[in-house]
Amino acid sequence: MLWDLVGDVRALLTTPAAMVMQVAHPAVAAGVGDHSVFRTDPWGRAARSLHSMQLWVYGGERAAAEGERLLRLHRHIRGTDARGRPYDALDPATYAWVHATGFPVMCHAQRYFGRPFTDGQERRLYAEWRCVGQVLGVPESELPRTVEEFRARYARVLAGGLERTAVVRDLLSVALPVPPPDRGPRPLRAVLRAAWPALTPALLRFRRFVTTGLVPPDARAAIGLEWTPRQERRLRRFGRAVRVLLPLLPERLRYLPLARDARRAARRRDRSRA
């Protein structure tokens, strides 16, 4: 299931929702606020995060190496948050929460962008996502074995562990300046730079709308994010458009580069074995 989901271009829409849930945890927010460049280099940070996530699923032997790299990267991320509370990025429960957010977001987003998962599909997806946690070095004690155990632990975090942190507000802000993209073909970058002042307000509003909507309702309530029935109807209409239009695109446009290459290589191996 992850082979189909994680590299799909819809991940560009769902990943920010998981990030909002992650930084609603005060320890994660403090680490990101103190050590991340998401404010000064949002496009670079997003590209690196997406590439890392693709490696977990499509990287083969590189997946384990990426997990080890992330552990090394976070080893020295520790300090004290704005309220004087100590944090450590590799605290087992904190590190596990960053991984955990992906599963409920994928399940919730599927209600808009595809057919809702059956109970069996959710269990299969969770088993696969749990394997990703092992690749990332999440301690076994922090990886619930079943969906039921996961939901119980998830509910405990929602009940008292999340806040509408400053980083959450920044990620959903429509006022925080965002520079134009610095990646892609040079002519396209030039056009975007010229049009960026006119495009930015609408893009930021769209980002906040989709990101907030794809945060699961129970997490939205725990964080304190507003969501109206009108917004829900708009998101459902947007989801229907995505469901209709995306299958019309060729695979090279439906999947991100690393995923696309891995899927092609897998098909070549299957043909050679046939």
Alpha helices in 90-215 (DSSP H): 92-100, 102-113, 119-135, 147-160, 166-171, 186-214
Mean pLDDT value across residues 62-85: 92
Q: 271 or 37: whose pLDDT is higher?
A: 271
Using 50, 70 and 90 to split pLDDT, how confident is the model at 187?
confident
* pLDDT band with cut points at 50, 70 and 90 for residue 42: confident
State residue 158's pLDDT score: 96
Q: Judging by beta carbons within 10 Å of its beta carbon (0-12, 13-18, 19+), is residue 64 exposed, middle or buried?
A: middle
Task: Sort 126 into a burial class: Cβ within 10 Å, 0-12 / 13-18 / 19+.
Answer: buried
How does residue 35 score in pLDDT terms, banded at 50, 70 and 90? confident
- What is the rounded average pLDDT of the residues 235-260? 94
The reported pLDDT for the residue numbered 59 is 93
CB atoms within 10 A of CB 267: 10
pLDDT at 36: 81
Domain boundaries, the chain: 2-273
Return d(Cα 21, Cα 162) in angstroms, integer: 8
**Can you tell me the mean pLDDT for 143-158?**
97
What tokens appear for 146 in the block? 């079943």
Confidence of residue 188 (pLDDT cuts 50, 70, 90): confident
Of 82, 117, 74, the C-alpha closest to 98 is 74
Of the pLDDT bands very low, low, confident and very high (cuts 50, 70, 90), residue 237 is very high
**Nearest CA among 192, 170, 195 for reference residue 181:** 192
pLDDT at position 81 is: 85
The C-alpha torsion from 6 through 240 and 251 to 100, rounded to 10°, is 0
Provide the pLDDT for residue 185.
75
- pTM of the full structure: 0.92
Look up tokens 């948050």; give the residue: 81
Is residue 176's pLDDT more than 80?
A: no
pLDDT tens profile 103-118: 999 999 999 999 999 9
CA dist., res. 171 & res. 8, Å (int)? 22
Of all residues in the chain, what percent carry a pLDDT higher than 90? Answer: 77
